[in-house]
């Protein structure tokens, strides 16, 4: 008989952690470090509202639902917006349905934006899909880069021209892993400047996200932070920061030196990163979902991710379902203004923990709309 308990990630037992890791290993769709217990425990260290539902069929553990528990039985993805991938970690034989999973956890709503759902548990609740992109090396990087060149010869030629210009005018180009705190801070500063300039919600402002990223940057465990830096001579040109586990790297922050914008260092960075992957011990460079206008030139579609709202068959769940239908009727699906505002409000809801922070975020979201439209036109 199915049953569930809800606990803070710090309370996971050794048995539960081992069962979670076994489910991840058994299902390739759950391979991202963001879907494992180590990430859940790291988020739990900086968020008191972090929770994990542990589902059992009798004595057998059959699944886990990591989330942030918010008022009214609302569940938000654990670690969002940094959890580009999230979902119910369970096997195909778990016996769980969306309604049953929520009811057992005493949840009325589960709002997701990057759902990994290989067994279709939340399929009916998904209102849209996008693609997650990853660079997976199962060949020499030179062969991979040659395939990119053959697929986009003009783009590749332009990259080589800009790369040569950067080397000639600034200095020799190289990419390396860095543990220098100054490099990490510079990459973060450039990202904050970009977020303000383009009107995107500043996910780096809340204390908990800064603590989480800082913990990973200083960590040396199985799941740890990794800073990659692109140098042109002695000048830092671009960088990525994210988490790595095994050979799987998932960067969260990508930023470039604004003084070197004419050289398009972001393109040079990705090409150099692909070539450097074996030396860095990386087999998968997960670029995540969204921004496919540039990712698709370097990476292949690796995951289908869902966005939507699952509701329980309870009064609170039906009320939430009505709100979701109202958003849909208003145009929250697709790429229009309402859809953009909905995504922005989701970002505010998951990052800002205080009422004052959410109000400030909403005011900033309204004020940022002209900048967002301009940035989207430039893209």
pLDDT in tens, 83-104: 999 999 999 999 999 999 999 9
Q: Note whether 2-129+306-330 and 139-282 share their fold.
A: yes
Question: Is domain 2-129+306-330 annotated with CATH 3.40.630?
Answer: yes
Core vs surface per residue 100-116: b (16+ CB within 10 A) or e: bbbbbbebbbbbbbbbb
What's the pLDDT tens digit per position in 145-168? 999 889 889 888 888 899 999 999
pLDDT, residue 364, reads 63
* Residue 250 scores a pLDDT above 70: yes
Low-confidence winner among 54-58, 291-295, 351-355 (lowest mean pLDDT) = 351-355
* Residue 331 scores a pLDDT above 50: yes
More confident residue, 373 or 2: 2
Can you tell me the distance from the alpha carbon of 38 to that of 265, in angstroms, rounded to the nearest whole number?
A: 33
Question: Which positions ≥6 away from 168 have C-beta within 8 Å?
Answer: none
Q: CATH topology for 139-282?
A: Aminopeptidase (3.40.630)
* pLDDT tier, 326 (very low <50, low <70, confident <90, very high otherwise): low
Mean pLDDT computed over 275-288: 96
List the domain boundaries for the chain: 2-129+306-330, 139-282, 331-379
Write down the pTM of the prediction: 0.89
* Residue 41 scores a pLDDT above 50: yes
Mean pLDDT computed over 169-178: 97
Q: What is the rounded (10 degree) CA torsion for 183, 137, 131, 350?
A: -30
Burial classification of residue 48, based on how many CB atoms lie within 10 Å of its CB (0-12 exposed, 13-18 middle, 19 or more buried): exposed
Can you tell me the distance from the alpha carbon of 202 to that of 194, in angstroms, rounded to the nearest whole number?
A: 9
pLDDT, residue 197, reads 86
* Residue 329 scores a pLDDT above 60: no
Mean pLDDT computed over 309-325: 74
């Amino acid at each position: 008989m199915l049953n569930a308990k809800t606990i803070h990630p710090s309370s996971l037992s050794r048995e539960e952690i081992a069962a979670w890791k076994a489910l991840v290993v058994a299902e390739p769709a759950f391979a991202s470090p963001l879907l494992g217990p180590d990430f859940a425990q790291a988020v739990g260290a900086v968020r008191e509202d972090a929770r994990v539902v542990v589902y059992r069929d009798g004595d057998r553990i059959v699944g886990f639902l990591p989330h942030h528990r918010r008022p009214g039985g609302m569940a938000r993805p654990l670690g969002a917006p940094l959890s580009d991938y999230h979902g119910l970690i369970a096997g195909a034989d778990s016996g769980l349905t969306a309604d049953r999973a929520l009811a057992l956890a005493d949840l009325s709503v589960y709002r997701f934006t990057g759902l990994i759902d290989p067994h279709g548990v939340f399929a009916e609740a998904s209102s849209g899909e996008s693609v997650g992109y990853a660079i997976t090396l199962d060949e020499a990087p030179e062969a991979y880069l040659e395939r990119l060149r053959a697929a986009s010869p003009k783009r590749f030629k332009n990259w080589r021209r800009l790369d040569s210009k950067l080397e000639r005018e600034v200095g020799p180009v190289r990419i390396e892993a860095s543990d220098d705190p100054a490099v990490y801070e510079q990459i973060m500063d450039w990202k904050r400047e970009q977020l303000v300039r383009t009107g995107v919600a500043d996910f780096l402002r809340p204390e908990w996200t800064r603590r989480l990223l800082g913990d990973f940057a200083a960590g040396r465990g199985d799941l740890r932070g990794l800073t990659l830096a692109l140098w042109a001579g002695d000048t830092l040109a671009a960088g990525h920061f994210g988490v790595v586990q095994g050979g799987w790297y998932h960067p969260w922050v990508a930023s470039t030196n604004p003084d070197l914008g004419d050289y398009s260092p972001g393109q040079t960075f990705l090409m150099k990163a692909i070539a450097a992957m074996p030396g860095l011990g990386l087999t998968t460079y997960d670029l995540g979902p969204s921004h496919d206008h540039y990712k698709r030139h370097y990476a292949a579609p690796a995951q289908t991710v869902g966005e939507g709202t699952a509701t329980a068959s309870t009064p609170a769940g039906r009320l939430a379902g009505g709100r979701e239908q109202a958003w849909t009727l208003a145009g929250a699906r697709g790429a229009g203004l309402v859809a953009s505002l909905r995504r922005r409000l989701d970002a505010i809801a998951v990052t800002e923990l205080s009422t004052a922070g959410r109000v400030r975020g909403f005011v900033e979201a309204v004020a940022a709309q002209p900048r967002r439209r301009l940035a989207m036109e430039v893209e």
